[in-house]
Amino acid sequence: MVCREFSQNSDNLSNKLKALADGITVHDIAPYLIRCTLDVIIQTSSRLYINAQNGNDESTLNNVTTIVNTTSVRLMKPWLLSDWIFNATELGKKYDKAVKCVHDKIVDEEGE
């Protein structure tokens, strides 16, 4: 099952990149890779199909991006490693909100 999902997402990514390729123009492929990776990870871990590569479910994509970016910032600032300090900051509140939204999305989809 996982191989099929990975293959489908890889094919989708490949088709999107082929559509961009003209042999002349330079493109930033990072957003495409991020969306494909998100689709694979979410589908594999939770059986949730957000179809991020096709622009669906932007809120989940934004929330996952917030979680990743916030984690990176937190690791670079040692004073934020303390949970009680981190949770008291605006960054901590933003992180908690993003985690709750992703969690609720997964629970809602699994319940259907």
Number of domains in the chain: 2
CA 6 to CA 12: how far, in whole Å?
10
Which amino acid is located at 15 in the chain? N
Q: Are residues 39 and 66 in the same domain?
A: no
Q: What is the pTM of this model?
A: 0.71
Q: Are residues 18 and 61 in the same domain?
A: no
Residues 6+ away with beta carbon under 8 Å from 81: 74, 75
Domain boundary among 9, 28, 53: 53
pLDDT(24) > 80: yes
Domain that includes residue 4, residue range: 1-53
DSSP state of 51: -
Q: Are residues 25 and 7 in the same domain?
A: yes
CA 56 to CA 29: how far, in whole Å?
18
Q: Are residues 67 and 107 in the same domain?
A: yes
Cα separation values, 71 from 74, 76, 78, 95, Å: 5, 9, 12, 8
CA 89 to CA 19: how far, in whole Å?
43
pLDDT(95) > 90: yes
Q: Are residues 61 and 95 in the same domain?
A: yes
**Dmax of the chain from CA atoms?**
52
Q: What is the pLDDT of residues 26-81, one digit of tens each?
A: 999 988 988 898 888 888 877 777 788 888 778 888 888 899 899 999 999 999 99
